[in-house]
A and B are shown apart, each in its own frame.
Chain A
């Protein structure tokens, strides 16, 4: 029973077994990583992304709170109209001597007429900031949300398990659980439209020109020009998320 094994044999034997055991899974990892699937259409994704960094500008001076963006967004992205979940919404800020009141009835889709005004009052449209450092992507346990090469955060509806971790992680409240699919949903800047050369639905329908969308990588684009020639700020810079939605003329009370 107690036969002794020389130390050298023990060590070399154990090493060999370990090496053999590791080789199999490591080999499969390498194969997995290199597996190349049929690229989309003629262009590969890195080619599609090349030179593009999408950006969004909101001009709060121009917004009239009509809520066309909220409605169009729901229609374009098949978010149920009657459920209180929004990929984009409009907040109303009314400042009086008593403080600031913020409301967004029905996501700002139809602000009721003739509300009591204040000393300072304005609208602030909100949407996903498509952060350069997205906390939602960081926390997803299954890799169901990710940042594309051109800077848009997408959700993989088939992969998402609906754990809601990303909803909690988003400092901007931009995510929600879709009431029909029961997976995480969020603004994608209408990525399916952008790839077809269209603008996001909210930008398309905004009658006031308060929403602008374009390529930050192109210095001649409208959004790049606005950012370079105006004072702009992103929301919650202290979170370190580096938002890609830039606000022109945004009051300091808006966070």
Chain B
């Protein structure tokens, strides 16, 4: 009976020396370590809009463009070409489809660089024109005029006869 009384007296202090305490504090330490570790591991802005870094949206948005918005950008300087194109088959095409990306060319306007003078790159014309106009399986004649380049001209540069901006009216071109 005396023993039991002593036990009861020591109950409170005894409690904090027990296995419960050791297990409990271990759990608390683990959880706190987890919280601290997580704070370091999870990057800034993660979870702002969903399970990803919100800041990455801006990083994606900031990527540079290579192609311009469209022909209206080219028209500002190269209006004569657009006049030549009026009513031509190639009128509906985008300049950059053949001439390649021009954003750097446009950005260089007014800048003190040689870029403005640099013409936008153009490939070998047989290869370039063949991309659309060479006969190949799958390319329907109903959709586009196609030829066999070697049969058609011996494979010489298309530009020697055809003006790409006025393909119908050039020397040797399909006269209307």
Chain A: residues with CB nearer than 8 A to chain B? 3-6, 9-10, 13-14, 17-18, 20-22, 24-25, 27-29, 32-33, 35-37, 40, 45-46, 61-62, 64-68, 72, 75-76, 92-94, 110-118, 121-123, 143-149, 154, 156-159, 188, 191-193, 195-199, 201, 204-209
Residue contact B139 to A5, C-beta cutoff 8 Å = no
Counting from the closest, the 9 A-B pairs by CB-CB distance are: A17-B24, A25-B35, A21-B28, A146-B52, A113-B134, A115-B137, A192-B63, A156-B56, A21-B31
Say yes or no: A143-B52 contact (C-beta < 8 A), given A68-B131, A158-B59: yes
Say yes or no: A18-B24 contact (C-beta < 8 A), given A25-B34, A205-B96: yes
Count of interface residues, chain B, beta-carbon cutoff 8 Å? 71
Residue contact B25 to A28, C-beta cutoff 8 Å = no
Residue contact B100 to A115, C-beta cutoff 8 Å = no
Residue contact A123 to B48, C-beta cutoff 8 Å = no
The answer to whether the Cβ of B173 comes within 8 Å of any Cβ in the partner chain is: no
The 8 Å CB contact of A146, one of B11, B25, B51, B139, is B51
B63 → chain A, closest Cβ, in Å? 4
The distance in angstroms between the C-alpha atoms of A235 and B50, with both chains bound, is 27
The distance in angstroms between the C-alpha atoms of A116 and B135, with both chains bound, is 11
Residue contact A207 to B15, C-beta cutoff 8 Å = no
Residue contact B136 to A122, C-beta cutoff 8 Å = no
Say yes or no: A3-B137 contact (C-beta < 8 A), given A113-B130, A158-B56: no
The distance in angstroms between the C-alpha atoms of A5 and B23, with both chains bound, is 15
Residue of B nearest to A198 (CB): B69
The 8 Å CB contact of A118, one of B32, B132, B137, is B137
Residue contact B61 to A113, C-beta cutoff 8 Å = no
The distance in angstroms between the C-alpha atoms of A156 and B43, with both chains bound, is 12
Query: Which residues of B have CB within 8 Å of A68?
Result: 97, 131
Question: Can you list 29 residue pairs at the A/B interface with Cβ under 8 Å?
Answer: A3-B14, A13-B15, A14-B24, A17-B28, A18-B24, A25-B35, A29-B38, A32-B39, A32-B46, A37-B45, A40-B57, A40-B58, A61-B143, A64-B144, A65-B139, A75-B67, A76-B65, A111-B138, A112-B136, A114-B148, A116-B137, A123-B139, A149-B49, A154-B60, A191-B61, A192-B63, A195-B61, A198-B67, A201-B67
12 further A-B contacts with Cβ under 8 Å, apart from A66-B131, A158-B59, are A10-B15, A17-B24, A24-B31, A32-B39, A75-B101, A114-B148, A115-B136, A143-B46, A146-B56, A196-B65, A208-B143, A208-B144
Say yes or no: A62-B143 contact (C-beta < 8 A), given A21-B32, A156-B53: yes
B92 → chain A, closest Cβ, in Å? 8
Residue contact A159 to B67, C-beta cutoff 8 Å = no
Say yes or no: A35-B48 contact (C-beta < 8 A), given A14-B20, A76-B65: yes
The distance in angstroms between the C-alpha atoms of A113 and B131, with both chains bound, is 9
The answer to whether the Cβ of B62 comes within 8 Å of any Cβ in the partner chain is: yes
Residue contact B57 to A3, C-beta cutoff 8 Å = no
Residue of B nearest to A108 (CB): B138
Residue contact B15 to A9, C-beta cutoff 8 Å = yes
A23 → chain B, closest Cβ, in Å? 9
Residue contact A143 to B51, C-beta cutoff 8 Å = yes
Query: Which residues of A have CB within 8 Å of B68?
Result: 198
B window 122-159: CB within 8 A of A: 127, 130-132, 134-140, 143-144, 148-149
Residue contact B18 to A5, C-beta cutoff 8 Å = yes
The 8 Å CB contact of A64, one of B14, B43, B46, B143, is B143
Query: Which residues of A have CB within 8 Å of B12?
Result: 9
The distance in angstroms between the C-alpha atoms of A29 and B65, with both chains bound, is 38
A91 → chain B, closest Cβ, in Å? 10
The distance in angstroms between the C-alpha atoms of A123 and B60, with both chains bound, is 31
The distance in angstroms between the C-alpha atoms of A115 and B43, with both chains bound, is 53
Q: Which among A17, A36, A113, A117 has the greatest number of chain B C-beta atoms within 10 A?
A: A113
Query: Which residues of B have CB within 8 Å of A9?
Result: 11-12, 15
Residue contact A198 to B65, C-beta cutoff 8 Å = yes
Residue contact B67 to A205, C-beta cutoff 8 Å = yes
Residue contact A76 to B67, C-beta cutoff 8 Å = yes
The distance in angstroms between the C-alpha atoms of A37 and B28, with both chains bound, is 31
